Structure 1
């Protein structure tokens, strides 16, 4: 795993990150409406996450982005952040990078002063849900905040 690097996103990564996210969503047959696929922020991720309450990280393999994940304040909630747009190309899966990315995001969330961390996903993202469970996330009955991702119908929360 030594040749994989997790670092904060840079402007030069924007196009590759958008491609990774759309590739993975398409691979899993996710709806293009009501998910991250249609988010305007997808094509401008570096600038979108360049705030006092958010950060986005990429996994790089020899200058090529193969995954990413971010943390940002959850719109409509106080003291709650959301893990956002965490996707990995097939070649990056099963190598512990998801766990490392989650730990990176949750550490940043604590540094930013958040008390709880929220995730929403799709029911067939089973590997991701297993990871979230292992990291202490618990299922909740309904969505929090105003993400606009009405097609995501699995919600989880964790105390930081």
Structure 2
């Protein structure tokens, strides 16, 4: 699993933010802009005064991506009046996602993007928007892959050079419009919760005592103990489920478990929708850290959890013989 971690940027990180901001911007744009224009932009956009003001802006948030105590990328999001153009209280702007070139392709940008999604959900934003230079095809492909669509253009000045940015938008309710939505558990979904989990477990492993216990009576063994179960509906039919199991543990508030998506519904991003909904639910309940268990045999699950930004942990007791990896996710 990845050792890349995300953390909020504080006022004490101003120098590090200036450094990573300048370095990543130069790596991305130095080859296609004049030295004079680049210098002018960097001096203005990453001055001590500008960076300090941005860090003190209550309607902006920065996050660092860190690997082995080295800052390798960062995210900046804006909301409310701090958005650079739309200033819509229903939206969140991704102003910057930058990663050092040597770390391109290792999932860092996706981790930062997923953090933006989590911030948007925390703020109950209806959509996310951004501007990306029309010549930055790598970035455009990245955002298109994540569901963004172009809706307008605007002019960006870099020194004396006039450039065109493509404005792109992601409707956070778009999946619901397509017929997929996440709801809380009701008794009528008990059979689906059981059968969807049994389907994947028996495909790779064998059912164990803890499986029978949780799936056989989710009300008593999950919900009545302070947990939650979420269900993904596609045209009102349950096609995915996951559970937040309350933990009596000084380190963790909940375990994210019993994640299952019907094979017929896979490839639609439902597992990520369930994870993001579970994270938001856990935060709303005051949680700060989530525990997860899995098996390295489940490659799609491993990729999903890596995108969320989990960190490996070891040595915790588990009731499952199939478990060969334990993880935690800081959701603060």
TM-score normalised by L of structure 2: 0.43
Higher helix residue share: 2
Separation in structure 2 between the aligned mates of residue 99 and residue 74 of structure 1, nearest angstrom: 22
Q: Calculate the aligned-residue CA RMSD, in Å.
A: 2.0
Q: Is the 8 A contact 2:252 2:291 kept in 1?
A: no
Structure 1 residue 30, shift from structure 2 partner = 1.3
Count of residues paired in the alignment: 155
Separation in structure 2 between the aligned mates of residue 142 and residue 79 of structure 1, nearest angstrom: 14
Matched, 1:112 2:293: no
Deviations 1:98-136 (A, max 9, x none): 111101001111111112111001111111111111111
Matched, 1:126 2:299: yes
**Structure label with greater radius of gyration:** 2
Distance 1:78 1:139, change over 3 A: closer
Structure 1 residue 79, shift from structure 2 partner = 4.2
1:149 equivalent in structure 2:
320
Structure 1 residue 152, shift from structure 2 partner = 1.0
Deviations 1:21-73 (A, max 9, x none): 1011122x213236x5x331202324544347321011122332211011122
Separation in structure 2 between the aligned mates of residue 155 and residue 84 of structure 1, nearest angstrom: 12
Higher relative contact order (CA 8 A, sep 6+): 1
Deviates more, 1:99-108 or 1:70-79: 70-79
Structure 1 moving runs of 4+ over 4 Å: none
1:16 equivalent in structure 2:
192
Gapped regions of structure 2 (runs ≥ 5): 1-174
Q: Is the 8 A contact 2:227 2:245 kept in 1?
A: yes
Distance 1:51 1:32, change over 3 A: closer
Separation in structure 1 between the aligned mates of residue 244 and residue 281 of structure 2, nearest angstrom: 8
Q: Pairwise mapping of residues 12-91 of structure 1 onto structure 2 (< 5 A)?
A: 12-27=188-203, 29-33=204-208, 38-51=211-224, 53-91=226-264
Gapped regions of structure 1 (runs ≥ 5): none
Structure 1 residue 140, shift from structure 2 partner = 1.6
